Chains A and B, each alone.
Chain A
């Protein structure tokens, strides 16, 4: 029996890796699979990438630090404004705009963290939302910096050296590779001793504090890192949209990120891209089904919350659990019927961690 268990543990990660690889191959082949690339690459492909990257920064904070921040889109917007300001107001080159945008976004995230990390749970959520609204009001009214409602335009892509950013597919591939880089960076940071300390803080801040860790400083550092990731998303967005206006930091944009994260799976760093894909497809095609396309998006969101609380990334796990239950009780299932943390699959799949986090989040 123990041999069977070991085999199943070995098989599962492999299956996950195969699916992962298939998605990656699909992402790379995407521009050549679609019939109208000038529509599909920007409206579905690149938009899914930047939505996913910004949502990934939210998931990183939630999964490893236990903080649910509603300021991630605001930070992405600030980095987009930073880059837009350099290009439109200062007439600067794209290679200066990108690092300045990233710096401004990350710095803004650091400043927001200084204020926000002193609060917990619902108060943290509220303060990040409030800061987002302050930034929105500023962006809507400051003619000198953000050009108020009109926003900053046009922010065109330029060719840089051998990188032909003006070519849509080159821009897509660069965005895709940058997104994969962000994912790897998040996983790497989580695996360092810093990341482990963060997870310790998430599980028991009091205990970590007693061990001598400065909990707030760790949280500030984590938020600053996630702000950098969000800023990367903001930079991809600004060159995708060719303009930046207050709508990018408005409440609906913030909620889009939350929807992407929840639909993809709020505990899964890669699942956000599934969530982003679902949102962009709904955004573009739901009107073929109904005039009230926002209502449809809302219904999909509710359906995911009800039937797949771990998001799309957790559906595979849910299905295999369902099949196992249909097959009839086995010793392995009996073990799964115990507290879920003891299930062998729980150590193998990210999705199960999501379930735990969701339940912890609701306890908090």
Chain B
């Protein structure tokens, strides 16, 4: 009886299946698109500008959303608004937040939701690199919406010819701008061994350093690309050739902490050169005894050292400290989100709140924007990628025995290269 029932059901389904196939074939082309989709094109002349904010609220970068809100809070409160919105250049600005888990799939879903369901005019974000690459691909399919990057740093993002995508920060290769020359000329490192994690961010970050270092005349004595999550560096440390002058460490988070503590126990005598996230404040504030390895490490990035003195920076950090859930000092996400959001608001103010036909006016003003950010002057190149200042930093032991970052120098007007780096042996091509 059961089998018969099953066969009947299958027969019924097969009939339904054929009917459905016919129905699909008969459906008028384009009818699915007939209902209203994005309201963005029509919103150009409306009185409200909707900005959708993407940042990470889950996963290991979950603090991204709090930092994004703190950054937006600083910019909006300076104009009498709040993190929820306000009035900019006579127009009502409404902010809609969508949190992601840092994966590309999540960024894709949320960006689509902001554009298609919430009908935002501008997408502001995302925070992480993998998400950034996806959002640029999506931006290419939504030419009527303007996209302003949050903190995503892959080199390739502004090399895709997405005319509606703007990035008001350096990419991860630019973050190393000036460090290669400094290591070769000032520090006198001629031969460097490279240890870095095996994914796109360290490729670009290390690529930025070594392209400059090799061009200055430096040599690479070997490259070790390790999977993210590697905890045992003993074999890699033993592979470092004796005639190496310094070791480049392109690791982040827990991997960086493991390496630094093992470098102390294994007695690595070589000075270190850090990637942009290797010796950040979170790594230095850990409990492990890493000072022997970490002190003297030089690195580069968009975040200034603790002794940075600049009036715009001072105003920003004071306003930042008043935000709910603010860190003791702004994190990399806080700084990058602020620079980008303030740029966007300046762009809107420049056009007096009129975005223009297909956002032409807003995009023109963003493309020509020049202003002094807390981390230095910013201007845009032809790919809508910012030309920025970059900080060279050294880790020092302050008077109380705590590890902190000291500014060595600042590289001005760092421009983007055209190379998207992949894993390389020796010097990058």
Contact = CB atoms under 8 A, between A and B. Distances in A.
B373 interface: no
Interface string A21-44: 000100010011011111111110
Interface stretch (A101-109, A116-124, A243-251): A243-251
Contact of A13 (B5, B16, B137, B227): B5
Contact of A291 (B57, B112, B199, B228): B57
A241 B29 contact: no
A191 B32 contact: no
Interface in A121-158: 137, 140-141, 143, 148-151, 153-154
Nearest to A196: B3
Given A39-B117, A148-B199, A245-B104, A168 B32 contact: yes
Interface in B333-359: none
B130 A245 contact: yes
Grouping DSSP codes into helix (H, G, I), strand (E, B) and loop, the A interface class, with mixed when no group exceeds half, is helix
A36 B35 contact: yes
A359 interface: no
Given A149-B200, A150-B133, A283-B109, A36 B10 contact: no
A28 B20 contact: yes
Contacts of B108: 241
Chain A interface size, under 10 / 10 to 19 / 20 to 34 / 35 or more: 35 or more
B401 interface: no
Interface stretch (A175-183, A214-222, A226-234, A299-307): A175-183
Taking each of B10, B14, B32, which has the highest tally of chain A beta carbons within 10 Å of its own beta carbon? B32
A39 B112 contact: yes
B378 to A, nearest CB: 27
A255 interface: no
B116 A36 contact: yes
B16 A24 contact: yes
Contacts of A284: 109, 113, 117
A81 interface: no
A167 B24 contact: no
Interface residues of B, number: 57
A148 B32 contact: no
B80 interface: no
Contacts of A167: 29-30, 32-33
Interface in B33-54: 33, 35-38
Nearest to B202: A149
Among all A-B residue pairs, the 6 with the closest Cβ atoms: A169-B32, A39-B116, A39-B117, A38-B37, A149-B199, A173-B24
Interface of B: 2-3, 5-7, 9-10, 13-14, 16-17, 20-21, 23-25, 27, 29-33, 35-38, 57-58, 65, 97-99, 101, 103-105, 108-109, 112-113, 115-117, 130, 133-134, 137, 140, 154, 156, 198-200, 227-228, 422-423
16 contacts: A17-B9, A39-B37, A140-B199, A149-B199, A150-B133, A151-B133, A173-B23, A173-B24, A173-B27, A180-B17, A181-B17, A184-B13, A191-B6, A241-B105, A245-B130, A284-B117
Given A36-B36, A148-B199, A150-B156, 15 more contacts: A13-B5, A34-B35, A35-B36, A37-B32, A37-B33, A38-B33, A42-B112, A43-B113, A141-B198, A170-B29, A190-B6, A242-B137, A284-B113, A291-B57, A291-B65
Interface of A: 13, 17, 24, 28, 31-32, 34-43, 47, 137, 140-141, 143, 148-151, 153-154, 162, 164, 167-170, 172-174, 176-177, 180-181, 183-184, 187-188, 190-191, 241-243, 245, 247-248, 250, 252-253, 283-284, 287, 291-294, 347
